[in-house]
Structure 1
Amino acid sequence: MELEEIQYTWGQMSLELEKQKRLSKKIILEMMHQKYKNKFSRLLKFELMGALICFVFSGLILYNFSRLDTWYLWVCGIFTLLILLVMPIITLMAIQQIKSLDILNISNKDALIKYTKTKSYLLAIQQFGAYASFPVFLTSMPVMSKILKNKDFFSVSKDIWFYVMIVLFGVGLYFFIKWGIGCYKRITNSAEEILKELDEY
């Protein structure tokens, strides 16, 4: 009788231990999933602030669009609006897509494949946005000159300091963009490491 009781107790302890292992594994996986999502939550907040600035700027241009009274100001205004309105929306959608990948309910191999595709798409959008920043910077100057000062940017004489400021701003923009793309790469690489760690569980 004592042997049967010992065997029964041992069996119960084994079952409890197995339950604890499964529960611990589930908790660890959920924590890693949350850690993965948090990486993109911070990125999403940053991009939402940027999108808000773009939309306010776009609203200002749209409200005053009738003041752009030449064909070249129209071209500058339309190009600036397109980039300012379309790029933030595409970027936010791409971040939301990568953030909401269901990495717990699919195999790790499938999760990595889907992640790699979504990561490549997100980084491609960022690079396009980076390249588009320079022409938008140039096209927004004549638009804002007309809207804020009612002056035709192309017919106003400019001194050497104007060109110095343009070059300095362009250099600053280049380093800011480089820093931003670097942040995206660090975050996406770090999230990929989390997915690879999941393979151990």
Structure 2
Amino acid sequence: MELEELQASWIAMSQELEKQKRLTNEIILKMTQDRFQKKFSTLRSFETVGAIICYIMAGMIFFSFEKLDTWYLQTSGVLTIGFLIVLPTFVLKSLKKIQNLDILNGSYKENLLIYIKEKNKLLRLQQIGIYLSYLLLFLVVPVFTKIISNKNIFLSNFKPLQGVALFVALVLMFFFTRWGYRSYKKITNSAEDVLRDLES
């Protein structure tokens, strides 16, 4: 009788330990999910503000499109609107997808593979955005100059001060885009480390 009671107690204790282990693993996964999502919350906030600014600028060009009275200004306007709408939308969608990765479901390996794929897609979008932003600078200036001051800069004399301003803008863009891309890499690598901690 004592042996049966001992076995029953042992089984009950084993079941309780297993239950505690599952509960602990669940808590760890939830905490990891929160840490993972917080890595992207600031980045997503900045991108949302940036996207809103881009959409407002695209709206300004769209509603003032009749002021763009030459084919090359109209082409610049259409390309600028496209850039200001398409790229921020893709970046926000990519960020949402990566931030909402459900690590509570699926295996560690599956989640890591999905994350790396989405991370690479997000970083590729950032690289494309960097290269296109230099082109955008040369499109935005004539478009907004025409919309705001009704001047066609292609028909006006190029002043040395304008050249200096353009050079300064390009240098600032270079440093800003470099800083932004490094920040993206740092955040995405840090989030990957959070996922890799689950392996240990």
TM bracket (short chain): over 0.9
Match of 1:116 in 2: 116
- Which digits, 9 at most, give the CA deviation of each residue in 1:65-93, with x for residues without a partner? 00000011011111111100100111111
Match of 1:42 in 2: 42
Match of 1:163 in 2: 163
SS in 1 for 2:104: coil
Q: Aligned pair 1:139/2:139, yes or no?
A: yes
Alpha-carbon deviation of 1:4? 5.8
Greater CA deviation, 63-72 or 110-119?
110-119
Instruction: Give the TM-score, by structure 2 length.
Output: 0.93
Match of 2:199 in 1: 199
Counterparts of residues 1-201 of structure 1 (less than 5 Å): 8-200=8-200
Alpha-carbon deviation of 1:46? 1.1
Partner Cα distance (2:162, 2:48) in 1: 32
Partner Cα distance (1:124, 1:171) in 2: 22
SS in 2 for 1:195: helix
SS in 1 for 2:140: helix
Partner Cα distance (1:99, 1:135) in 2: 30
- The CA RMSD measured in Å over matched residues stands at 1.6
Q: Spell out structure 1 runs of 4+ moving beyond 6 A.
A: none
Instruction: Give the TM-score, by structure 1 length.
Output: 0.92
User: Is there any run of 5+ residues in structure 2 with no aligned partner, and where?
Assistant: none
- Which digits, 9 at most, give the CA deviation of each residue in 1:108-152, with x for residues without a partner? 111111111111111111100010001101110110111000111
Amino acid at match of 2:173: L
The number of equivalent residue pairs is: 200
Identity %: 44
Greater CA deviation, 37-46 or 68-77?
37-46
- Which digits, 9 at most, give the CA deviation of each residue in 1:21-63, with x for residues without a partner? 2211110111001111121222211110000000111111001
